[in-house]
Structure 1
Amino acid sequence: MKILVTGAKGFIGKNLIAELRNQNYTDIFEYCKETNHEQLDQYCREADFVFHLAGVNRPKDQSEFMDGNYGLTSTLLEALKKNQNTCPVMISSSIQAVLDNPYGISKKAGEDLLFEYSKETGAKVLVYRFPNVFGKWCKPNYNSAVATFCHNIARELPVTVNDPSVVVNLVYIDGVVEELIRALQGNENMVGDFCEVPVVHTITLGEIVDLLNSFKNSREERSIPDMSNSFTKKLYSTYLSYLPEDKFSYDLKMNVDHRGSFTEFIKTAERGQVSVNISKPGITKGNHWHHTKNEKFLVVSGEGVIRFRKIGSDEVIEYFVNGEKLEVVDIPTGYTHNIENLGDTDMVTIMWANEFFDPEKPDTYFLEV
């Protein structure tokens, strides 16, 4: 299948082409500003489907709206008619097409042109009125507030929100791409005369900024956002894509002594805490028990033994562990326990606890195994 994508270097175009290739679509004609008219004519002769994503969002002069959003559509459709190609054509329009502003008027003109083209030629046309689209590879300081917020907050630059209570409707780029590929396969989500991305997120600008600031702070707090919320999950992925390339990593506080170290990695109120414990050779750590707090130990390097003794019993239970055979050992409540490094090298253990350590209520009682 030969697919023409206009606006191939734009935000939606780059994401769409990347996923088309992931799904083994190999004949993709990429049209952008540098493409000449002869190439466009060839593409329009051979294409089996057209994604018309090119357009003008932020021109230097408002007259460029009509040139970019109406004029280019006209050129595309004329080339298809010249080559007698009635393949399906999808166009990216905007919810602003119903508004009386230069951008909206130009988008509405492009829609009308496509509908007339369909009546004239019988070609299938798909008009998508997108709300605000967010996700990786969107240009900041252009036409996306989310992209600008992500870029600025990731760099500790100021963010300006005139009215935090303004409500916006957003669609995530992956959802857009999934819908466009469904359209390519003839399964578009048609609502009346137009097509829509099924999942739309409604949120205020103030809430978006608050979330993004919490993502930034999560590094210092060693926390993870609530991934059960689909919008938070998508926004967090978007935010990470705007990190400066020299800021991908961040330090953790290592609690170091002669026995080794203990470092908190991730803390979540809902799913507990993950830490990394390093024990020097011959060192035993632990010798305590809990009422309600419980843990999971996973030795990933080195070798050792985890010992248990039930409170009120003299019987000691031993689990030998090493990094060559990964196995998780649950630490049940009511058992005093310790972990000893039996090897000649550092032993590294990933530890999960079901709750944060609370110095006011540690639920940790010293008792030798």
Structure 2
Amino acid sequence: MKVAITGGGGFLGWHTRVLIRALGWPEPALLDRATLAEPAVLADRLCGVDRVLHLAGVNRGEPAEVAAGNVAAAEALVRGLRRCAQPPKTLVYANSTQAGNGTPYGDSKARAAGILADAAIGCQFVDHRLPHLYGEHGRPFYNSVTATFCRLIADGGQPEVREDRELQLVHATDAAAAMLDAPPTGSWDASMPVLRIGVQALADRLLSLAASYRDAEIPPLPDRHEVRLFNSYRSHLFPARYPMPLVRRIDQRGELVETVKARGGAGQTFCSTTHAGATRGEHFHLAKVERFVVFRGRAEIRLRRVGHHQVIRFSVDGIEPVVVDMPTMWAHAITNTGPGELVTLFWTNDLFDPYRPDTYAEPVAEVAAAAV
């Protein structure tokens, strides 16, 4: 499946690119502002593409800027489509449930949809009206109230609820799956399952997750939205709050370290040995919560956010056990850097399913991907 994306550097764009990586599809063509401004260049990039996802838009700013920005982005894409010798098969628009609600944002989204629909001659037009999106690495005070609350709580603050109303939340990966018409799996759901929750209830739920996790305890994770809210919160802690220290108790019999205290829900624990110089991992997860604890030997844990260049490194030693919980959508690996055998405990929040493992090969030291 050949995909082209406008707004690929944004919140939804990043989740879409990560999902494409998990699907094993070719890297999407990213249609940035410079490309949109050149109809001939844009037409060339669109030629022969199976699916175009128009995610670019403006949802914050001065009312006139918001209104003009959404319409201008649609018009720019249309100019390229009209010059394209081999138009894409499907044009998908990331619209909003607020479309046509009388606000500059809502009315401009509705107008943009009309512009795109009129230009979709010879290809299928899909208008996805998305509700509030949440997920890992949302931009606080811009993308969603969930991202704002997560950031405030991560920084030790308290969310302020000015208007308590019901929200309809969809995880960004599920929205991406719907727009890509991705095949179903346990890691995403193209039906976009919705979490209906009040603003105050959302704040309370995130505060509860944070309170449990403050001492490295895993909070109850009974359903997909609870897992994804927890992962969204954890993304605002990484990497500054890691590694997390563990209490080591020593007496005449030996040592004891409490590595995982999970407050309900399924889970799986396993232990591995790794020879000197060997590496485990080199993959990422979309939803799985995974914990690393080294008990014997020395190791380096390396992580890189998918689609980015920067590699985060943690040196760990079994003499002082610590917790490093892998953030979702980050490639990660652990290498034995000591002279002897490395003993590591791993814990995940779900039981391993070989048919739906939620594990996608990705080297940490990526060379080819473009940072955004």
| 1:34 positional shift | 4.1
Secondary structure of 1:152's counterpart equals: helix
Measured after TM superposition, the shift of residue 271 of structure 1 is 6.0
Q: Name the residue aligned to 1:170.
A: 169
Residue of structure 2 in register with 1:160 after alignment: 160
**1:262 aligned residue (243, 256, 266):** 256
Residue 119 of structure 2: which of 117, 120, 132 is its match?
Answer: 117
Q: Verify: 1:23 aligned to 2:14, yes or no.
A: no
Q: Flag the 1:18–1:230 CA change in 2: closer, same or farther, 3 A.
A: closer
Q: Measure the CA separation in 1 of the matches of 2:264 and 2:46.
A: 54
Are the counterparts in 2 of residues 172 and 234 from structure 1 also a CA contact under 8 Å?
A: yes
Aligned ranges for residues 2-13 of structure 1 at < 5 Å? 2-13=2-13
Q: How many residues align?
A: 270
Please say if residues 134 and 144 of structure 1, whose CA atoms lie closer than 8 Å, have aligned partners that are also in contact. Answer: yes
The Cα shift of 1:129 comes to 0.6
Does structure 1 retain, via aligned residues, the 8 Å contact 2:222–2:265?
no
User: Post-superposition shift, 1:64?
Assistant: 1.8
Larger RCO of the pair (alpha carbons < 8 Å, separation 6+): 2
SS of aligned partner of 1:20: helix
Tell me, what secondary structure is at the counterpart of 1:30? strand
Determine whether 1:200 maps to 2:200.
Answer: no
The one-letter code matched in structure 2 to 1:16 is T
Query: Identity across aligned pairs (percent)?
Result: 27
TM-score, normalization: structure 1? 0.65
Which moved further from structure 2: 100-109 or 77-86? 77-86
Aligned position for 1:308: none
Q: Against the structure 1 CA distance between its residues 42 and 274, is the aligned structure 2 distance closer, same or farther, given a 3 Å change threshold?
A: closer
Q: CA deviation at 1:20?
A: 1.4
- The 3 A distance-change label for structure 1 pair 85 and 33 is same
Q: Is the deviation greater in 252-261 or in 62-71?
A: 252-261
The answer to whether the Cα contact below 8 Å between 1:266 and 1:274 also exists between their aligned partners in 2 is no
Separation in 2, partners of 1:41, 1:31 = 11
Offset of residue 155 of structure 1: 1.6
Structure 2 residue runs of 5 or longer lacking an equivalent are 185-189, 270-294, 297-342, 348-372
Give the counterpart of 1:94 among 76, 93, 96.
96
CA distance in structure 2 between the aligned counterparts of 1:146 and 1:199, rounded to whole angstroms:
17
Q: For residues 237-248 of structure 1, what are the structure 2 equivalents within 5 Å?
A: 237-248=231-242
8 Å CA contact 1:134–1:238 kept in 2: the answer is: yes
Aligned partners of 1:222 and 1:27: how far apart in 2? 36
Corresponding residue number in structure 1 for 2:42:
40
1:143 matches 2:137:
no
1:80-130 deviations in whole A, cap 9, x for unaligned?
Answer: 112244421001110110311000000010111222224xx2421000110
Aligned partner of residue 14 in structure 1, secondary structure = helix
Contact in 1 for aligned 2:43/2:80 (Cα 8 Å): yes
Letter matched to residue 51 of structure 1: L
The one-letter amino acid of 1:21's match is: R
Amino acid paired to 2:69: G
CA distance in 2, matches of 1:269, 1:27: 39
| Aligned CA distance change for structure 1 residues 47 and 231 (closer, same or farther; 3 Å) | same
SS at match of 2:260: strand
Report SS of the residue matched to 1:127. strand
Q: CA deviation at 1:243?
A: 0.6
Q: Is the 8 A contact 1:264 1:274 kept in 2?
A: no
Contact 1:266 1:273 (C-alpha < 8 Å) held by counterparts: no
Q: 2:60 aligns with which of 54, 58, 61?
A: 58
Following the alignment from structure 2 to structure 1, what is the Cα–Cα distance between the partners of residues 266 and 27? 48
> Helix, strand or coil: the match of 2:98?
helix
How far did residue 221 of structure 1 move? Answer: 5.1
SS of alignment partner, residue 236 of structure 2: coil
1:255 Cα deviation (Å)? 2.7
Q: SS in structure 2 opposite 1:248?
A: coil
CA distance in 2, matches of 1:19, 1:94: 21
Q: CA deviation at 1:197?
A: 4.3
| RMSD, aligned CA | 3.2
CA gap 1:274/1:122 in 2 versus in 1, 3 angstroms: closer
Distance in 2, matches of 1:204 and 1:8, equals 30
Q: CA deviation at 1:269?
A: 4.8
SS of the residue aligned with 2:28?
strand
CA contact (8 A) 2:219 2:263 kept: no
Q: Does the 8 Å contact 1:222/1:264 carry over to 2?
A: no
SS at match of 2:53: strand
Q: CA deviation at 1:209?
A: 1.5
Highest Rg: 1 or 2? 1
The 8 Å contact of residues 11 and 143 in structure 2, kept in 1 or not, is answered as: no
Asked whether the 8 Å contact 1:225–1:232 carries over to 2, the reply is no
Q: Amino acid of the residue matched to residue 98 of structure 1?
A: G
The CA deviation at 1:77 is 1.4
Q: In structure 1, what residue type is equivalent to 2:113? A: E
Specify the code of the residue in structure 2 equivalent to 1:62.
P
Matching residue's letter, 2:114: D
